[in-house]
Amino acid sequence: MERRNFIKAALLGGIAGAVKLKGNDLFADDKMSVSASNDLVAVMGGEPAQMYQKAIEAMGGISKYIKKGDKVVIKPNIGWDKAPELAANTNPQLVSAIIKDCFAAGAKEVTVFDHTCDQWQACYKNSGIESAAKEAGAKVAFAHDQKYFKTVKLPKGVRLKEVMIHEAIVDCDAWINVPILKTHGGARMTISMKNFMGIVWDRRFFHANDLHQCIADCSTYEKMPVLNIVDAYRVMTQNGPKGKGIEDVQLAKALFISPDIVAVDTAAVKFFAQFKEMKLDEVTHIGLAEKLNIGTTDISKLKVERIRLG
């Protein structure tokens, strides 16, 4: 049954990926010229590492964001004890490709971590991310104990004025945010800003004090990611953020990249809407973040490159 459902999901994902997106033109047939000054790049139709390479080239190369000698953190979603095929966590092939690219740029060290929801050792192992990270030469950090977190101030926050953030983020030279695109009950969508909940210790405060505002507030942290890379290779379209089975997954084969966290989440929501109806204003924290001047939802004002592979 699971294999049959997987094949069905893959076929549906391929069909959906071939149609023009509703209400936007992210994957127009006409390609824009490659430029190092792009604000946002959307790639579709390849494997995770391949799409990443095309995307980072169109953004000007990893050396534009990671410098020789940098201590770098890669922050994927590793929140759930699920295999990659179930799209609960970031694709390990993508994580591996980013790590290798950072080392190629001269990074001194690369660290990978997440404050998981399920038991952390099982999440790290069964997501495939722990082994992928280590094989690529990265360190895998612990995040299951409060001692690994440091209190930082959020002077621009509305509800969240301070928060405990993982020491790897606080102490790094640069970090890259690598969420997976999926549905979420409370936050509506899990994308780049929602992925910040894996760098903080006390997530319960978020849920008890206006989840969307707290997500937006946390995104005012002064050390923002140099890049947000949204993994939409497989997309969980229902029962997120954990999912129930392969029937919740669509094979979408897409990737979005931008230093603008609001813009990249906006693009990802519009893409998601072709699989399941979702309006941007339903994902309230995106608009709240824009009001805090974190980024823009008006993609038309940005230089966007759209790349189709295959």
Categorize the per-residue pLDDT at 31 as very low, low, confident or very high, splitting at 50, 70 and 90.
Answer: very low
Confidence bin at 28 (pLDDT 50/70/90): very low
DSSP string, the chain: -HHHHHHHHHHHHHHHHHSPPTT--TT-SSPPPP-TT-SEEEEESS-HHHHHHHHHHHTT-GGGT--TT-EEEEEE---SS--GGG-SS--HHHHHHHHHHHHHTT-SEEEE----SS-HHHHHHHTSHHHHHHHTT-EE---SSGGGEEEEE-TT-SS--EEEEEHHHHH-SEEEEEPEEEEETTTEEESTTGGGGGTBS-HHHHHHS-HHHHHHHHTT-SS--SEEEEEEEEEE-SSTTT-SSGGGEEEEEEEEEES-HHHHHHHHHHHHTTTS---GGGSHHHHHHHHTTS--S-GGGS-EEEEE--
The band of 185, judged by pLDDT with boundaries at 50, 70 and 90, is confident
pLDDT of residue 143: 98
**pLDDT tens-digit profile of 284-304?**
999 999 999 999 999 999 999
- What's the domain range around 70? 2-308
Task: Give the pLDDT score at 26.
Answer: 59
Model confidence pLDDT, tens digit, residues 84-93: 999 999 999 9
Q: Dump pLDDT digits (tens) for 195-238.
A: 999 999 999 999 999 999 999 999 999 999 999 999 999 999 99
Tally of structural domains, the chain: 1
pTM for the full predicted model: 0.90
Q: Read off the pLDDT of each residue in 274-291 and give the average, rounded to a whole number.
A: 96
pLDDT of residue 7: 35
Q: What is the CATH number of the domain that holds 239?
A: 3.40.50.11440
